[in-house]
Structure formats: C-alpha cells, structure tokens
Chains A and B, each alone.
Chain A
Amino acid sequence: MSIARNQHPIIKQLEPLVATLYALMAGMLFCIILAYFLGTGSFELISAIWEGAWGSPNAAAATLSKLTPLLLTGLAVSVAYQAGLLNIGCEGQLTLGALSAACFALTASQLPRLLLMPLTVLVGALAGALWTLPAMWLRQKRGVHEVVSTLLLNYVAIYLADYLARGPLGDGSAMARTAEIPLESTWRAVCSVGTIGVTAAPWAALIAMCLVHVWLYRTCGGYEAGACRSNPLAARAAGIPVNRRQTRSFLLSGALAGLAGALEVAAVHHRFYAAFSPGYGFDGITVAFLVNNVPGWTWLSALLIASLRAADKWLQLALGISPSTILVLQALLLITVASRVRLPVPGRTRRRSLLGHLFGYPEQTRQ
C-alpha cells in the first residue's frame, strides 16, 4: 500500500552529509538568536568561533589534537549502534584505557621502543574493551538496558581512576596524576603546525575509521552485525548468534574508546591525571549521531565538534562570552539530529531516534 519512494543510491550515500548540514543550520540559527540577546553581531559570534578553531596555525593545531579522541569515540558509538546497541559509556572506557596505557608504559619501560609504543596503545584499547563486558553481561543475562549500565559504569570508572591516580598509582605529588611515561612509549611529533608539534595520532584515528567502515560494509562480520541491528529476530532465525555478534561489536566499541584514551596519553599528555577526559566520551555520541552513525563520515562531524570545542576559550577572549555557550550549542546540535522525525512506513518496525532509545522502554531482551 505504500508508495515506493525511490532514492538514487548516491543520494542515500550522502545522507550523513545532509544530516550534518541540517544540524549546522540549526546551530547557526541558534547563534543568531544568541547574538541578539548578547548584543553582539551574529556575524561576529560565528566568525569568533571560526577564528578560535582555525584562525591561526596554533588554533588549528589545538583543533587537530582534539580531533583524534573525538573521532575515535564517535567511531566507538557508531560501531555499537550498527549492531543495535547504544554505548553511552565511552567516557569511562576512555578513562580506563588512558590509565591502563599509562600504567603499562610505566611498568614495562624496559621493553624496546618498537614493542613498547604499540603495546601501550593496545593495552589501553584492551582495557576499554573489557570495561564493556559487565554491561553486556547485564544486558544478556539480566535484561538491563545497556544505556543504563554503560552510563552508570562511567562513574565507576572515573572515580576508580581518580582514586588510583591519587593513591596507589600516583606519582606521590599532590596533583592526582601518574608519573610521566617513558619517552620510548610516546608518540613524537611528525610535523608542526605553528609552534605545536602534531603527532601521527590523527592519522592513526583516520586509518581506524577506514578499517571500521570497511569491516562494517564489506565483510561477513559487519553484515551480520547490521542484521542484528536491523532485526534480531530475523538474524537469529538465520542462524546468526545475535548475542555473540553484539558482544563482539560492543568489545570493538569499547576498544576504540580505550584507544582514544591511550592515544591521549601516548601522544598528548604523556601521563594520566584525574578528571582526564573533558567529556570526549559523551561528545562521541554527538559525533556519531550527527552523521547517522556511518563510520566513514565520522571525520566530518568529529572535525565540527573539535572546532567548536577548540573555540570555547577564544569566545571568552574575543567577545567575553562564557565558554559554556559552546556546550549549549553542541547540545542543540545533538537534539537537532536526535529528534529528527522519522516517518513510520507501514509493514516495518519504526526505527527509533536517539531520544526514543534513551527514554523509551527497552526492547524485549531475548535469551
């Protein structure tokens, strides 16, 4: 009975781009309204954001350094989403990934650089992956929705790391931080933008993005994950072990978030300290949903969010506006994409928006 809606495949491919532009327009509109109330010109406000993010080589380098963790946490959320799960726990996975990477680098400092550098990063990813397992167990054995469990596990992870950094794993100072990791385990700058060195970490994140995209759309495993998202009943009837596939995707998701933390330690801060992440894990949700959870487009939304994040201080300096404005703007972007109305089509189950996921009741858990 439904009228066939025929879309050209190319148009379908560009959907994430359209979604981002759509959100961007909403953001601009918000800026104009905000500028009116603040008494500044709306053009000044928007250009201040641009200036803050890309106005100088140093600003660009700062933006780029934020790109890596945002890209990876965005990927983490996408990978889980593409298997029908929502990972709200990237913040905790990232924190534990960072802490584990720092601890590993400190204890295994005798290893040669060729081993130590990659192993540090891998240990961080592993820690992030393991931190998703409690949530998976709760979902599959106890019927607890993963949104609830991952969200709460964030706080467990953050405060656990906080305690460890202040106490047993701290460097003895009052700074609530670990000691600096050995030079052999750090990533060195490969080029410099302005006066700031840029490491290969953004490139590593981009490579991870390509790999995830290819895995999702070109391999059996990715196809099966997609089937689990689209219709778990159908997947099970087709002999796909839905729970195991979802666990795999969730492990991968946690690993990517852990990797984000490990790269922050190895390439930027060279140590772990309390309150490590300025919300990269939560920003990952925005990054993923801005581009409809298509991994291949995550670079675009990560770049956008990184620009906003890098501009917040500049806003204070140039216009005297509170940096929190950026948080409001970012929240608005998320709400714009999350509440996008999806028209129900007869004969198919309604796809839920992010808000539906968060506030709707959980799907029936299947054994």
Chain B
Amino acid sequence: MSAPPLILMQGISKRYGELWANRQVTLAVAAGEIHALVGENGAGKSTLMKILFGLVQPDEGNIHLDGKPVAFKHPKEALRAGIGMVQQQLLIFPQLTSLENIVVGAEVRRWGVLNRKETRRKVEALCCSFGFDLPLDVHADEISFAHRQQMELLRLLYRGARILLLDEPSSLLAPAEIERLLALLRAFRAEGHTIILTTHRLREVFAIADRITILRRGELAGTWQRDQTSAQQIASLLVPAGDDAAVPNGDGINYLSPGRIAGSLSENASSPSSRPRPESMKDQECWITAPAADSDPEFVDMTGNGGEAMLGQPSSELPPEAPPILSVETVTAQSVHQEPGITDFCLQLREGEIFGMAGVVGNGQRVLALLLAGMHRVSAGTIRLGAHDITNTPTAARLEMGIRWLPENSLEEGALAELSLWENLLLGFQRRPSNQTLGWLHKKRIMQKAESRLELSRVAYTNITQPLSDLSGGNQQKVILERALTEPLKMVLLEQPCRGLDIHAQRETHRRIRSLIRAGVTFLIFSYDLEELLSLSHRIGVMYRGRLMGVTHTHRAERELLGQWMLGAPE
C-alpha cells in the first residue's frame, strides 16, 4: 500500500483505571477497503472505534485523516468529517417510521419547512443504489433487528458518511441476515466507501475483509492482508500460547474457549494436526479426554492452543433415564412491551439438562423467561415443575422451589447498586426463617453467611457493608450470580450468560454451569450466539415469533437447519 492511508491512528492509548483498553495501538486504513478489527472481548476494539468517532478521548496518540491531523471532541465533528459509527446498541426512535428515523435532525428543508418529498426521494435513491430492503413507512418498533441496523446505516449514508465504523454488526443476526449485511457492505465498498468493522466471527472476516488487524488485550498484534494469512494463524494470535485463558477446566472436559470466536470454518477444520501441540500436562489431559474431536468437523477451536478437540459435544451425555423436571404445556402468553408473546408453546426439560434456546433477538425469548420466573401471566396452558403445577405460582414461591432467573442485563435488572453486598445477597430470601424472626432481620448471621459465600466464590471486596457499586463490573456480576445460585436450586434460567464477559469470566461461568448440572440442576440458556449454545447445551431449540420452531440434540444439530429455523422457514 504505497498511497498514504485514509485513516492513520498512531500510538493510541486509553486507560481505564488499572486497565489499558488501548496501549500504543497503531491502525492504518486505506481508502475503499473493508478493514476488520479482530480480538477477544475486552481486547479494545470498541474503544479504538469510539476514539476514532470522538466518543472517547484518547490519553495519548494522534489521528490523521487524509494526511491531516484531526482530534474529534464529539461525534458531531466526526460526522462532519464523513465518519459514522453504528454501535452495538442501536439508537432508534420507536414511534417514528424508518424514514423519519433515518432523516431525523437532517431533514431537507425549504424556507424552513420540511420538504418531505425531496427527503423521501433522497432516501429512496440511497436504498436503490445499495440494495437496501428496508420498509420506509413502518414504525421502527415493528421492524426486525436486521432492518433497524440497516436503518442506522442509512442514517449515516444519508448524512454523507464515507467511512463507516461498525461495532459487532453481526452479533444479533441470523445466518441469512448476516449474508445480506455482507452483501450491503460489499456494495458500499464498490461505491468507494471505507468500512471498519469489529467482529468475533472469523468466518465473516474471511468472507469480506481486505485487511485484518488483531488486537490482544488492548495491544496491537499486527495487521495482515486477508490472502496472506489463514484462519488458524489469526486464531492462534488471538490468544497467545501459554495464556492461562487456554487452560482447560479441571474436570477434563474441553469446551469452546472463546465461544464466540469459533466460526464455522469447515474448510479449515480438516487439518488439526498442523497446529502446535499444547505444552502443559493439563492441556494434554484435555487432549485425550476431549470426546468429540473428530465427530464434528464443523467445529474448530479458534483458541489456537491446540484445541482441535472443539466441542460440539456438551460436557457429558445426559443420562437417558433423567426424569423430566419442567414441562411447559401448550402455553400462550401476551406480549411484553416490544417482545412478542408466545403461542401454544410446548417444552420439556429433564433433570440435569442444559437446554439452549436460540433465536434472533425479539422472538419471544424474554416472555418465556418471564413466564417461567413467574413475572408474567399465562393466558392458557400449564407449567409444571416436577409434579407441581406452577402455572400461577408467584415469584417468591418459585424462588423457594428453586427456580432462578438471571436476566440479560443482570446488573441493571438484578443489582441493588447502592445497597451493600450482604443486602444484595439477601434479596429474595429475606423472608426465610433462618434470616428473620417476626420480621426482625438476623443481621449478624446474614452478614457472616454472606462473607463466607463471597469468599468461596472469590469475589474481591473489602467490607461486607460496602455498596455493590464499589466493586468492579465483573465482581458485581459474580455477586448477582452467587445470589441466583442460593440453595435450594432446581432450575436456572440464564439470559445471555456470557455477554460482555471476558474470556476468563466466560470460562468460569461455563465451568460453574457444568459442575451444577452434575448436581441435578437444570439450565435453560437463552442466547443469540449459536456457537455458545452448541458448545454448552445438550439440546437446542429455536424460537421464532413466539413459537418453538424445532428442537434438536446438539451432536446432531445441523447449522443450516438451525439457521433456517431462526428465520422462520419450516423444516
């Protein structure tokens, strides 16, 4: 690349407390290319993009755009310079139509009055030239997530952005929707736009990117031309060899380490022996005991740490005689806010099973979780836990029966941020006879218990009376998880258990789940990440518009079929 790069970020550093989000990162992006930023969770990809977009100010380093130094203090300035960003969290006005969402704040005006015709013409021209299939006159809360994303892209193009930053654009899309997104990105490139995108999925990277930059723990690992590297090489660079992140869990069962990184790179899966052997004994154990190494060539371990023994296979076979624990019998329920309700839903879970519930975001998963947690009313049908009919059992009683719900944003929806640690651990169990007598809390006893539990789960804290918000995000999540796992435990509903967790915490969570199923606890895991579910669960179901499209055993799961189910196509 002899021409000077369009964007040159040099020596960018950003520190959050003890943590380097970016450390001396240099990134050069040529005009008209698709540049992929790859790295684990917390590797600093998003921070780097936010710095370029002016959302975050770097501590050090400088940025050159077209050879001229720039320093955006605010996204407005970046937009003016032609840089636009689509963040993971989409920003929509639900009550406005797509068209209004696209043009809001930048409508075409004549004499100070909106010129709707001209506005529409401009947007339609954009749609046409790039092949968007977005309905323009539908309210934004009625369109799918993929379309909302298109809406955000159009919003940027409409404002004349020539450089598009996309943060994890594919993480919530179904396979076919991803294809459409990639086609759009190619169309942008053909028009001379420059795209920087972050992703966990190497498959997409190799399908579309011209060049690939890898970040590792906030530091630059290197930039490669796509055709001069391979998935294996990239994967091995993501997690450095000997990194403790790659140590398998103690029970000798290997599992997908960075669940989201593993793409379905079937073409690369065939030659596992070409990768270096692990060095430590522990790794070798895992090598030997990993059960499903060859049975499923679709799976590749992208840790690069000799784990061709990717799992495909969940921890252990579910004993065939495991008794059913939860049965949902033709349940119908109303919608909640923007989440569709569910209709004639049937599901049976067995004791000690991990059931993965897949589906594109907003297809009734939330309603199902709320129903099982007792926070939403069943319109018709029955829910049973063991022999008990719990259709109308209140939440508090379900907690005592052992049903626990860990919501997606567990901190936002489950944490008492300004209350103390012991109060957070107590929530939901404050009426237990061991915790109170006639309403008088046994504070001392509760606090002692809380201390010992936090020590066991290795939460870093100084005082049991300090507010939860004093802890780091990861530790806060640990506290909430610890509370959800209070005995007695029968069934746990997990929404997106590993979203936003770094690799260690993710591993820790998976390990915890696996150790609990051996004690007979059942898990129902809701995730948008098919890879995570494939690596963890015994069976996988797919929800579409409030219905269960199908259920399959993980080791017999066909990715194609699951993808079709996710988009509602019948078998």
Contacts and interface: CB of A to CB of B under 8 A. Distances in A.
Given A6-B466, A220-B436, A238-B399, A347 B473 contact: yes
A231 interface: yes
Nearest to A239: B396
A348 B415 contact: yes
B431 interface: yes
Contacts of A221: 439
A265 to B, nearest CB: 32
A229 B423 CA distance: 13
A7 interface: yes
A239 B417 contact: no
B366 to A, nearest CB: 13
22 contacts: A1-B16, A4-B472, A6-B463, A12-B465, A219-B436, A219-B440, A220-B430, A220-B441, A221-B439, A227-B419, A227-B423, A231-B415, A233-B414, A234-B413, A234-B415, A234-B416, A237-B373, A237-B405, A238-B395, A239-B396, A239-B398, A345-B469
A223 B473 contact: no
Contacts of A219: 436, 439-441
Interface centre among A6, A230, A347 (most CB of B within 10 A): A347
Contacts of A349: 412, 417
A349 B472 CA distance: 15
A224 interface: yes
Interface in B372-401: 373-375, 394-399
A347 B469 contact: yes
A218 B431 contact: no
Contacts of A231: 413-417
A221 B17 CA distance: 38
A223 B423 contact: yes
A1 B412 CA distance: 16
A9 B447 CA distance: 14
A218 B441 contact: yes
Contacts of A227: 416, 419, 423, 427
B19 interface: yes
B397 A239 contact: yes
Contacts of B463: 6, 9
Contacts of A4: 462, 470-472
A226 interface: yes
Contacts of A168: none
Contacts of B184: none
A274 to B, nearest CB: 42
A224 B465 contact: no
A320 interface: no
Interface in A202-219: 218-219
B362 interface: no
Contacts of A220: 430-431, 436, 439-441
B18 interface: yes
Contact of B428 (A1, A226, A238): A238
A4 B411 CA distance: 17
A223 B415 contact: no
B413 A237 contact: yes
A346 interface: yes
Contacts of B427: 227, 234-235, 238
A236 B423 contact: no
Interface of B: 16-19, 373-375, 394-399, 405, 407, 411-419, 423, 426-428, 430-431, 436, 439-441, 443, 462-463, 465-466, 468-473, 476
A230 B423 CA distance: 11
A3 interface: yes
Contacts of B428: 237-240
Contacts of B426: 223
B17 A1 contact: yes
B472 A1 contact: yes
Nearest to B21: A1
A233 B375 CA distance: 10
Given A5-B470, A237-B428, 15 more contacts: A1-B19, A4-B470, A4-B471, A223-B426, A223-B441, A224-B430, A230-B417, A233-B413, A234-B414, A237-B395, A238-B395, A238-B428, A347-B411, A347-B476, A348-B469
B472 A2 contact: yes
Contacts of A5: 470
B411 A348 contact: yes
A226 B18 CA distance: 33
A218 B235 CA distance: 54
Nearest to A223: B430
A184 to B, nearest CB: 35
B417 A348 contact: yes
A12 B462 CA distance: 14
A346 to B, nearest CB: 7
Given A219-B439, A348-B415, A9 B423 contact: no
Contacts of B441: 218-220, 223
A4 B474 CA distance: 12
A34 B375 CA distance: 57
A221 to B, nearest CB: 6
A329 to B, nearest CB: 30
A7 B462 CA distance: 9
B495 to A, nearest CB: 12
Given A4-B470, A224-B430, A233 B440 contact: no
Given A6-B470, A237-B413, A239-B395, A218 B375 contact: no
A351 interface: yes
A7 B16 CA distance: 20
A236 B430 contact: no
Contact of A230 (B16, B416, B431, B440): B416
Contacts of B416: 226-227, 230-231, 234
Contacts of A2: 16-17, 472-473
A143 to B, nearest CB: 14
A243 B462 CA distance: 34
Q: Which of A4, A230, A237 has the most CB of B within 10 A?
A: A237
Given A1-B473, A227-B427, A348-B469, A237 B439 contact: no
Contacts of B476: 347
Contacts of B431: 220
Contacts of A224: 430
A226 B419 contact: yes
A227 B468 CA distance: 13
A149 B294 CA distance: 68
Interface in A1-26: 1-7, 9, 12
Contacts of B413: 231, 233-234, 237
A239 B419 contact: no
Contacts of B468: 348
A5 B461 CA distance: 11
The 10 closest A-B pairs by CB, nearest first: A239-B396, A238-B428, A348-B417, A239-B395, A230-B416, A3-B17, A1-B16, A348-B469, A238-B427, A347-B473
B16 A6 contact: no
B500 to A, nearest CB: 10
Contact of A3 (B18, B443, B466): B18
A326 B439 CA distance: 43
